[in-house]
Amino acid sequence: MRRRDLLRSVAGVPLALSARRVFAQSRRFEPNWGSLDARPSPGWYTDAKFGIFIHWGLYSVPSYAPLHSKGETMYAEWYWNSLTRGKTGPPNGPGSSTWKFHQRTYGANFEYKDFAPMFQCELYDPDHWADIFARSGAKYVALTSKHHEGFTLWRNAQANQAWGRPWNAVDAGPKRDIALDLMEAGRRKNLRMGIYYSLYEWYNPLWLADRKRYAIEHMHPQFKDAVTHLKPSIIFSDGEWEMNSDEWRSPELLAWLFNESPVREEVAIDDRWGKDTRHKHGGYYTTEYTSGMQQAAHPWEESRGMGYSYGYNRNEKIDDYHTGRELIMMLVDIVSRGGNLLLDIGPTADGQIPPIMEERLLQIGEFLGPNAEAIYGTHAHTMSRQWSAGKVPQLEVKEFMSDYPIKNLVDTPPAGNARVDAFFTAKNNAVYAILPRRPIREITLDGIPGTAAAKVTLLENGAALESARQGKQIRVRVPEALSAALPAREAYVLKIV
């Protein structure tokens, strides 16, 4: 391979990063952040842009969380924690919504462990799941191999030993390796399959007795078992905030992952490996139920559910779910700023993806089908959005729980506010203008550098469009007949070369 080919930018990744990736594949990583941080996120991950998160476990049996209740989480996967706090003390106290629901539904003496036999997954069809994911246009999947409850979705000896009872999906509940089944089904659809893994477990006896022993004697061997057995292409670590990365001995664990594990070459990891690591160490940076990050040079990912919860919440109604259009606009907006969207689904305890979630995923796929080129493998353009006249709103930038009023940004701005008229992505020598509305007559695009006349095509069908350049502004004429003939889409893409 010629040197210039080796160092050439790949799918918009800066030259230095491409060189670092080649370097990373040939080096041995030491158990310290200086060495580990030199390994960039794999190119497949930064190109993928759209993934599916899956929260599925014993909490899928009660599948309940209160909505808009002060001091109580709306995450249904936190049911055990909410239940325990609701029984014993603040901030929820004995009058908490979760405790009241549990008492009237299951009885005061029904323990969380009693949900295990009820988690049957009798309608679980991993090939159907994988088919829906592939049709959605997602490129990768992260399944909760173990949430904070400690119950594992693959056969794991450490879980049984620590809890003193069958505490995995092969020895209890469905009596099936539901995690491995999905990994294999997804790979048959050419999806990158991965896992979510919680470092800590709320009520694990060893965790409650000795946290440092828990990390080394339980978490480390369990994590290695999950990686060796499931061979994840992506690992979304979580539950790291109770100890720093030295106490978790995360650098040691990641050195094993990058040097010795069966996925050492391809695995992508997040930044949740200790209370000192978010947006500092690990892999891609994470945000959760926010608008994501601004145009950061470092790979990043926003994760969120379609409603208020990751795990399935039977308490959510239709109006609590984002529409297909809103989710598509979120995806486009996040990708325009260089990020990935990890969109969550919460299957039911019997193993079904709720139909509303399937519908939303397929709606995203309908948009991505003809417009894939403007999403996959792209990077942020110099300008991510073009606004109409009016006051440009400023989004709150947080890593956890902030407002993301995508509908107001795109379709229904408050009086006096601007709305987004175009999102931009870029790849190689092309800029893509993603229009949230059907193009009619003339479109004016700003911030498109160049000296020569631009070649503009409609990505949907390759139709060439007349355009005229004036500085960094391009005016594009769209014939009325062409506009009228376009199929109904949530967005349309112009390719500018």
401-453 per-position pLDDT tens digit: 999 999 999 999 999 999 999 999 999 999 999 999 999 999 999 989 876 78
Please tell me the distance from the alpha carbon of residue 358 to that of residue 343, in angstroms, as a whole number: 12
Please tell me the distance from the alpha carbon of residue 273 to that of residue 402, in angstroms, as a whole number: 23
Judged on CB neighbours under 10 Å (0-12, 13-18, 19+), 471 is exposed
- How many domains does the chain fold into? 3
* Mean pLDDT for all residues in the chain: 93
Which domain-ending residue is among 313, 346, 374?
A: 374
We report the CATH number of the domain holding residue 390 as 2.60.40.1180
Domain assignment present for 23: no
Task: State the pLDDT at residue 22.
Answer: 40
Domain assignment present for 18: no
Rounded-to-5 percentages of helix, strand, coil across the chain: 35, 20, 45
Contact 83, 112 (CB under 8 A): yes
Verify that 419 and 462 share a domain, yes or no.
Answer: yes
Q: Is pLDDT of 19 > 70?
A: no
Q: What is the pLDDT of residues 108-125, one digit of tens each?
A: 999 999 999 999 999 999
Contact 313, 324 (CB under 8 A): no
Q: Which amino acid is at 424?
A: F
Contact 179, 230 (CB under 8 A): yes
Q: What is the mean pLDDT of residues 316-332?
A: 98
Sequence-ordered list of residues with C-beta below 8 angstroms from that of 295, at least 6 positions apart, any chain: 337, 338, 380, 384
Task: State the pLDDT at residue 309.
Answer: 98
Q: Which domain holds residue 82?
A: 62-112
Point out which residues pair with 426 in neighbouring strands: 379, 431
Task: State the pLDDT at residue 86.
Answer: 86
Q: Is pLDDT of 200 > 80?
A: yes
Verify that 345 and 416 share a domain, yes or no.
Answer: no
Verify that 322 and 234 share a domain, yes or no.
Answer: yes
Of 322, 281, 285, the closest CA to residue 303 belongs to: 285
Structure tokens at 194: 């991965």
Which domain-ending residue is among 82, 112, 142?
A: 112
Domain assignment present for 3: no
Verify that 157 and 274 share a domain, yes or no.
Answer: yes
Q: Is pLDDT of 4 > 70?
A: no
Q: What is the pLDDT of residues 332-385, one digit of tens each?
A: 999 999 999 999 999 999 999 999 999 999 999 999 999 999 999 999 999 999
Of 277, 146, 255, 256, the closest CA to residue 207 belongs to: 146
Please tell me the distance from the alpha carbon of residue 165 to that of residue 187, in angstroms, as a whole number: 32
Domain assignment present for 5: no
- State what percent of residues in the chain have pLDDT above 90: 88
Please tell me the distance from the alpha carbon of residue 443 to that of residue 435, in angstroms, as a whole number: 10
Q: Is pLDDT of 310 > 50?
A: yes
Verify that 176 and 249 share a domain, yes or no.
Answer: yes
Verify that 367 and 318 share a domain, yes or no.
Answer: yes
Task: State the pLDDT at residue 93.
Answer: 66
Q: What is the pLDDT of residues 253-305, one digit of tens each?
A: 999 999 999 999 999 999 999 999 999 999 999 999 999 999 888 999 999 99
Structure tokens at 19: 């060189």
Task: State the pLDDT at residue 449.
Answer: 83
Please tell me the distance from the alpha carbon of residue 327 to that of residue 367, in angstroms, as a whole number: 11
Q: What is the mean pLDDT of residues 216-224?
A: 98
Q: Is pLDDT of 23 > 60?
A: no
We report the CATH number of the domain holding residue 183 as 3.20.20.80
Verify that 193 and 204 share a domain, yes or no.
Answer: yes
Verify that 288 and 247 share a domain, yes or no.
Answer: yes
Q: Picking from 35-49, 56-70, 78-92, 138-152, which range would have the lowest pLDDT averaged per residue?
A: 78-92
Domain assignment present for 8: no
Task: State the pLDDT at residue 14.
Answer: 38
Verify that 331 and 469 share a domain, yes or no.
Answer: no
Verify that 154 and 238 share a domain, yes or no.
Answer: yes
Q: Is pLDDT of 248 > 50?
A: yes
Q: Picking from 25-34, 162-171, 304-313, which range would have the lowest pLDDT averaged per residue?
A: 25-34
Which domain-ending residue is among 112, 132, 149?
A: 112
Task: State the pLDDT at residue 412.
Answer: 98
Q: What is the pLDDT of residues 225-235, one digit of tens each?
A: 999 999 999 99
Verify that 119 and 168 share a domain, yes or no.
Answer: yes
Verify that 199 and 337 share a domain, yes or no.
Answer: yes
Please tell me the distance from the alpha carbon of residue 184 to that of residue 189, in angstroms, as a whole number: 9
Q: Is pLDDT of 138 > 60?
A: yes
Please tell me the distance from the alpha carbon of residue 331 to that of residue 367, in angstroms, as a whole number: 11
Domain assignment present for 94: yes
Residue given tokens 């890593």 in the structure block: 399
Residue given tokens 């062409």 in the structure block: 482
Domain assignment present for 471: yes
Domain assignment present for 122: yes
Max alpha carbon distance in the chain (Å)?
75
Task: State the pLDDT at residue 377.
Answer: 98
Q: Which amino acid is at 12?
A: G
Judged on CB neighbours under 10 Å (0-12, 13-18, 19+), 49 is buried
Task: State the pLDDT at residue 62.
Answer: 98
